[in-house]
Amino acid sequence: MSDAPVTLSQVAREAGVSLATASRAINGSATRSVREDLRERVLEAARRLAYSPDPSAQAMARGRTTALGLVVHDIADPYFSTIAAGVARAAEQAGLIVTLASTEHSSERELAFVELARRQRSRAIILAGGRLEPAEGPTAEGGAVADGGATVDGSATVPGGSGVPASDGRVPEPSSDAPASGGAGPAPGALEAALNAFQEAGGGVALIGQPIGGLPVVEIANADGAADLARALHDHGYRRFAVLAGPAGHRTAADRTSGFTGALAELGSPVAPDDVLACPFTRDGGYSAMRGLIERAGGLPELVFAVNDVMAVGAMAAVRDAGLSVPEDVAVAGFDDIHTLRDVSPGLTTVRIPLAEVGELATDLALGRSEGTRTAVRGEVVLRDSTPRRPAGAPTPDA
Partner DNA sequence: CTGTTAGCGCCTTCAG
Partner DNA sequence: CTGAAGGCGCTAACAG
Element (H, E) at 305: strand 303-306
Pick the binder of a copy of itself from 339, 352, 357, 388 (CB under 8 A): 339
Distance CA 114, CA 203 (A): 11
Using rule CB under 8 A, residue 334 touches a copy of itself = no
Q: CB under 5 to 8 A by kind: which of a copy of itself, DNA, none does 237 bind?
A: none
Distance of alpha carbon 33 from its chain centroid, rounded? 42
To DNA, the closest distance from the beta carbon of 365 in angstroms equals 24
Task: Tell me the number of residues near DNA by CB under 7 A.
Answer: 32
Chain centroid to CA 214: how far? 18
- Tell me the C-alpha distance between 277 and 293, whole Å: 9
22-61 residues in contact with DNA (CB under 7 A) are 23-24, 26-27, 29-35, 38, 51, 53-54, 57-58, 60-61
Interacting partner of 20 out of DNA, a copy of itself, none (Cβ under 5 to 8 A depending on kind): DNA
Q: Which of 19, 94, 267, 278 binds a copy of itself (CB under 8 A)?
A: 94
Which DSSP symbol is given to 274? G
Cα separation of 91 and 95, whole Å? 6
Sole binder of a copy of itself in the list 35, 47, 296, 374 (CB under 8 A): 47
Residue 366 lies near a copy of itself (rule: CB under 8 A): no
| Size (the chain), residues | 399
Q: Which of 133, 139, 159, 322 binds a copy of itself (CB under 8 A)?
A: 159
Per CB under 7 A, the segment of 11-19, 93-101, 277-285, 372-380 that binds DNA is 11-19
Q: Is 176 exposed, middle or buried (0-12, 13-18, 19+ CB in 10 A)?
A: exposed
The size of the interface with a copy of itself (CB under 8 A), counted in residues, is 97
**Residue 17 contact partner, candidates DNA, a copy of itself, none, CB within 5 to 8 A by sort of partner:** DNA
> Does 17 interact with DNA (rule: CB under 7 A)?
yes
Query: Would you call the peptide bond into 327 cis, given omega within 30 degrees of 0 as the criterion?
Result: yes
Stretch that binds DNA, among 14-22, 74-82, 305-313, 321-329 (CB under 7 A): 14-22
Residue 338 interacts with which of a copy of itself, DNA, none, CB < 5 to 8 Å by class: a copy of itself
**Smallest gap from residue 188 Cβ to DNA (A):** 29
The alpha helices in the chain, defined as continuous H runs, are 8-15, 19-27, 36-49, 55-62, 78-93, 107-119, 190-200, 222-235, 251-266, 283-295, 309-321, 355-366
Q: Which of residues 62-91 bind DNA (CB under 7 A)?
A: 62-63
Q: Give the separation between CA 64 and CA 4, rounded to whole angstroms.
A: 25
Order the strands of the 241-244 sheet from edge to edge: 276-277, 241-244, 303-306, 331-333
Please report whether residue 170 would count as binding a copy of itself according to CB under 8 A: yes
Closest to a copy of itself by CB, 153 vs 235, is 153
Question: Of 372, 370, 308, nearest to 335 (Cα)?
Answer: 308
Q: Which residues bind DNA (CB under 7 A)?
A: 4-5, 7-9, 17-21, 23-24, 26-27, 29-35, 38, 51, 53-54, 57-58, 60-63, 163
